[in-house]
Each structure stands twice: as structure tokens, then as C-alpha cells.
Chain A
Amino acid sequence: MQKTETTYKPLESSLLNVFDQHKNVLFNGCHPKVDQARKEAFEFLRKNGLPTRKDEKWKNSPFPKQYEENYLIDVPSASYDKHVNEIFHCEVHGFEAQTYSLLNGWYYSPEEKQLQTLDNGVVVGSMLKAQKAYPEIFNTYFGQTANHQQDGFAAANTALFRDGIFIYVPDGVEVENTMQLIKMINREEPLMVNSRNLIILGKNSKLTFMHCDDSVNHFSSFINTLTEVFLDENAYFDLYKLQNINDNTSLLNNTYFRQEAKSRLRVNVLSLNGGKIRNELHVDLMGEYAEADLNGVYLMDKQQHIDNQVFVNHAKPNCYSNELFKGVLDEEASGIFNGYIFVARDAQNTNAFQRNNNILMTPKAVIDTMPFLEIYADDVKCSHGATIGQLDNEAMFYLMQRGISKSDARLLLMYAFLAEVTTKVSIDALRNNYEDMIKRRLRGELSICERCVLHCSMPDKPVEFEIDMSKI
């Protein structure tokens, strides 16, 4: 049904108004392909609005509650204040990372570094600048894996994004140091940020990338990020997502991957805290012998919400995909796991596995977990499994019989439950850091300000949160 003006929610009206008001700047200096996508996306948004709970993929989602909020949608880029970058250094010992950042959706760097070519030939910088400098790349890749008409959020992102990070790794280049993107939100009012990223890995190239949503101030923001990633033949992309934001912020992290033959993708999503988080991973396996290993850990409490949507499209034969998502939900937290595997008729010899395990600590915590397999090939190995449970009493007694206190025994088992995922983090220093953050999150010793680079002085005391171990 087509929307009319009277049925738009405040957020929908704001999105449409901003587009109308800012047309001049939105279409100024963008690639023709971007312009075309914006127009189509705007039309889609105007007709369909944002998704509702009647949409199958948004069933049970609390995101529509946010449509009543008034967010400031398009803010000008802040001038570069090197203060933030100078005081930031990655706390992970033994972990070498090159840091880049976005502030309120804008690529944040000194003018001369807005788009740079590194010594190894890698191009990194602002999406806005890259469109002008590399029109042929945008011609080939922009909008080629993301569907900007998938839903209202993808459409809003496409219609309204101003900036984001652009990375191009040429053929044969193996990037040694991890690239880290820190997304900062720092305005004195609730902000909606639509940022757009494009990452391209050439043939036989390698990149480790860390995407941190952990530097958001205490206002209630709405982050709507869309990232397109292309892995050419035999490329290897190792992606880490770290999410640690306040209880009022909504985070929608939508990532599309297109993989060519023999490429390998590994994703690790660590959701430590946040009001509402939705991660969508869309993986198109478009070449034979491509592999995707998709993993996630989530720890939610209070009335927080976590949603992991994983779509894997086995379009070609001989590909492998594996999904492993594990989480703990306490108090009144809620979660969704939706794993969708599509195996095309020609995709023989497909291996596709999926597992989602949950521990619920209270009767009020909820998880909806839905495996969905659609298989048209006849020679495939596919499996799925979902569990919802509690800690093993036998193991509890075993630990306590060795003198370990009840609370420590619970912590050990909880930690062990999640370890199956964290052990897959291949960088030792990073894995130790992940494990440490999980331990402290479980003990209630991790603050959302911990890794935040804003160093703002909070009006109240920092938000502390805790998974209550006594309730298991």
C-alpha cells in the first residue's frame, strides 16, 4: 500500500523532508550512479516508508518504536580538531592498527588526508572525495551488491548518506596492519546518521578491518550504516565489529558482501551493549570455492535488544558457509536470530552450516531464533541448529567441588559457552582483548565509556551494566 503524507511517522517525514531540503548538496559532486540510486531510493522510501512489524524480516523487531522520535538528520561536517585523534591510541596491547574515523557520519581527518594512497598502494579516505577521484571504481562497484530498495532503511541510507569510509586494496596487496574504523557520534542532540562505506579487495589481496561502534555520546542516536564489500578472486577479508554503545541508541549495521571464486570472508561481531542493535550480513557467494565464516557474540540485559540477520546466497557450486552466533540475555532483554541460507539449483557440493545458541537468565528474557533453508541443488551438506537453555548443573557441581565459588563457576561456564566463538578470532592480541571485555562485561566491570574516544564528561556517572550471575 502506498503511503500518504498523513500516515508517515515523524522519522519518515523527517527523512523525506531532509531529502527535499538538501537536494542541492546531496546531488552536488556525486557520481551519476550515486545520483541515480538516490533518486530511486527516495522514491522507494516515499512509497513504502520504513519497515513495519508486518514485514516478515522485521517481525518482532522493536525498531519501529523509534519512528516516533525526532532526530536531527543531516548535520554539517565538523572542522577537524586533531585533539581527538591525538589522544586516541588503541589500548589493545600488541595489536597494531591504523585508525580512521567518522564523526557524525563524516570522514574525519585533516584536509590533506581526506583521500590518501598509502605506500602499499591502498587507497583510503572519504566516500565523498573518492566518488570524484575514482569515478570508474564507483561505476563498477557502487550499489552492485547492496539492494537500496531492500527496505526503508537501505533506501534512507542511499538517499541521504553524505560520507563514509572508502577503501580500495589493489590486486596482490596484503595489508599488514589492521585497519580500524572508529565511528564517533558527538552532538548535543539526538542524531540520525546515515553513513555509507565501500570496501574493495582486489585479486589475491588481504585485509583485516575492525569496525568499532563504541564512541557514541550519551544522547539517543540512531545509526544507520550500510557497507558494501567486494572480494575479488582469492581475496581474504577478516572483519571485526565491536559494538558498545549506550542504552538509548539504536544501531543498524547493514553489510553486503559479494565474493568471487576462492575468496575467503571471516566476520566476528561482538555486541557488548546497546539499546537496539540490528546487524544484517548479506553474503553472495558468486564464485566457486568461496568461503564465508560468520560469527557473533552478544551480551544483552535491561531492555536491550539484539537482532542478527544473516543471509547467505550460495549461487555457485563448491562453496562453504558457516554461521555461529552465541549469546546471553539477562533481565528483560530480547533478541532475534534469523539465518537464511539459499542454495541455487546449480550450486552442487555446497556446504552450509548454521548454529545459534542462547542462554536466557530470566523468564522475561526472550529470543526468537529462526533458521530458514531454501535448497534447490540436490548434492549439498546443510545443517542448522538452535538452542535456548541454561547452564549445566553437572558442570556447576564439578567446578564447585573443586572449591570454586558459585559465582565464579557461573562466570567460567558462561565464558566457556562464548569461547567457542571468541577462539575463532585469529589475532592473538585481539582475541585476548575480546575475551577480557566479555569477562568484564559478565562481571559488570565494563563501562560503555571504556573504549570510547570522545572522552566527554558525562553529566551523570558513567553507565555501568551487569549481567546478574546469581539468576542463572
Chain B
Amino acid sequence: MLLNIKNLNVAIDGKEILKGLNLGVNKGEVHAIMGPNGTGKSTLAAAITGREGYEITQGEILYDGEVINDMDPDERANKGIFLSFQYPVEIPGVSMTNFMRTAINAQREFSGQPPIPAGEFLKKMEEKKKLVDIHSKLTKRSVNEGFSGGEKKKNEIFQMAMLEPKLAILDETDSGLDIDALKVVAKGVNELRSEDNAFIVITHYQRLLEYIVPDFVHVIYDGQIVKSGGKGLALELEEKGYDWIIDKIEA
């Protein structure tokens, strides 16, 4: 199993957000995580990627068979965990090119490879830019600076394509996207899907899942996964909302 989360409890400032969450993800699978606002979806992404301030009070996150609870975010990234941010950060003064080269070289150094030759790097940039329909001028600019909402999200998928992660978490990548941008993003993700990697797609809406078709759909409520099913569950949620699940739990 690529990712195995067991009884995960996570607190922010002492407040429990995740309360005994279990999730298993195998290579080649796409898992969708759905649920109402404030139930722990983004907290799950933060805990897997090692964001500061998210304290694991109980339970384990196993990645490739290794407990990563206390691992630094950069080490997790270099082992192949990627997060497409809900709100990508603008970093004025750091060019996209410099940023990507630094990231790729960090990854290569981690796996004992020499830095990427300039020609190879530029070729890779060109190739991956096409995948998500990014204009050349964007990569010449500072990271996310002055990018539109859609450009920022495309840029996340572009970075994912460059870094070729084993486990990619898309945190509300569909929010703020029009249908055309959504299709571009989904196309990018679908082209990257393979038997060797896995995706966790966090979303509110079924819409994205029409384009990135999941193998499993999970509903988070109050810090736990309360219902899991196939792709049909997403359609059911779209039709009936979350109340029927919540009512059942609380009853």
C-alpha cells in the first residue's frame, strides 16, 4: 500500500480536527475526498504533507511502508508526496524557472543524482508547459505573482508534472476555475495517471469528478471518514447532499 493512514488524530492549537481517520491508497488509484466545509479535508492534506502547526496526537501515517509522522515537509516531498495548494502562494522575486530548477535538483540530490543539465531542464519545462496549456511568459515571471486564479491552479499541475510525484494530493484544485480551465487541469491530471502513482482529490463538488474519474469516493465528517464507495457515491451526494449521511450518523 502506498499510503496507509491509521487512526489519525490531528489537532491545531490543541483543538482536535481529525479524530481517528483511516485511509488506504494503493498505486494506480484515484481517491476522492468529499464533505461539508470545516470537517477536516484540508487538515488531512496538511497532515500528510507535514505542515507546521498540525500536531498528530495519535495514530500513524505510513507512506511506502515508512512512518512519516515526524518527517520534514521537504523530505516527504522528495520521497514523492506532492500537494496542489488550494491557495498557491505568490513569491515575488523568485522566478518560476529558478524555483523549478531548485526543486528538481533538490529531488535529484535526494535520490543521489547529479543536478539536471540546463538543456534537459528547459526541454522538460517546454514539454510540461504544453500539458497544461501554460504560456511561456508565465514561467518567466515570479512564482504565482500576478497570476489569475486559473493560472495559479494550472501552475500547480505544471509543477506536479515537472516533479512526477508518486502521491499527489489535489486540494480543491477546482475551486475558482471556469469549465475550460477545469478541463485543462483534469486533462493534465489524467495524462499523469499511471499504474505507479496515486491521487487524492479533495473537492466539494462532483463536477471535477466528471473529468477526473475516481476509483473511490470518501466522505469526511467531523474528522472521520464516515462513508466510502465507488464513483457512484459522488453522484448520489450531488443529488441528495450530505444530510442523509450526517443524519444517519447522528441518529
Q: What residues make up the interface of A, taking CB atoms closer than 8 Å to B?
A: 392-395, 397-406, 408-409, 412-413, 415-420, 423
Contacts and interface: CB of A to CB of B under 8 A. Distances in A.
A401 B73 contact: yes
23 contacts: A392-B89, A393-B52, A395-B89, A395-B91, A397-B73, A398-B85, A399-B99, A400-B72, A401-B49, A401-B77, A402-B106, A402-B163, A403-B107, A404-B74, A404-B106, A405-B74, A406-B72, A416-B91, A416-B93, A416-B94, A417-B93, A419-B94, A420-B93
A412 B96 CA distance: 12
B78 interface: yes
Nearest to A402: B103
A399 B106 CA distance: 11
Contact of B92 (A397, A399, A408, A416): A416
A404 B93 contact: no
A409 to B, nearest CB: 8
Contact of A403 (B77, B85, B92, B142): B77
Contacts of A406: 72, 74
B103 A419 contact: no
B224 interface: no
A413 B163 contact: no
B73 A400 contact: yes
Interface in B76-124: 77-78, 82-83, 85, 88-89, 91-94, 98-99, 102-103, 106-107, 110
Contacts of A415: 93-94
Contact of A398 (B52, B91, B93, B107): B91
A408 B163 CA distance: 18
Contacts of B49: 401
B159 A402 contact: yes
A418 B102 CA distance: 19
B187 interface: no
A405 B106 CA distance: 8
A395 B92 CA distance: 10
B92 A400 contact: no
Given A397-B51, A408-B102, A403 B91 contact: no
Contacts of A404: 74, 102-103, 106
Contact of A413 (B83, B91, B98): B91
Contacts of B89: 392, 394-395, 397-398
Interface string B185-200: 0000000000000000
B235 to A, nearest CB: 32
Contacts of B51: 397
Given A402-B159, A403-B163, A412-B98, 9 more contacts: A397-B89, A398-B91, A400-B72, A400-B73, A406-B74, A408-B102, A416-B142, A419-B94, A420-B93
Interface residues of B, number: 27
A400 B77 contact: yes
Interface in B60-80: 72-74, 77-78
A403 B103 contact: yes
Interface string B123-158: 000000000000000000010000000000000000
Nearest to B80: A403
A403 B74 contact: yes
Interface in B159-198: 159, 163
Contact of B99 (A392, A402, A418): A402
Contacts of A401: 49, 73-74, 77, 82-83, 85
Nearest 4 pairs of A and B residues by beta carbon: A416-B93, A419-B93, A403-B77, A402-B103
Contacts of B52: 393, 397
B187 to A, nearest CB: 22
Contacts of B88: 398
A399 B98 CA distance: 12
A390 to B, nearest CB: 14
Nearest to B162: A402
A89 B41 CA distance: 61
B127 to A, nearest CB: 19
A402 B110 CA distance: 12
Contacts of A395: 89, 91
A415 B85 CA distance: 23
A346 to B, nearest CB: 38
Nearest to B103: A402
Contact of A402 (B77, B93, B98): B77
A57 B50 CA distance: 49
B92 A420 contact: yes
Contact of B106 (A398, A403, A416, A420): A403
Nearest to A405: B74
Contacts of A392: 89
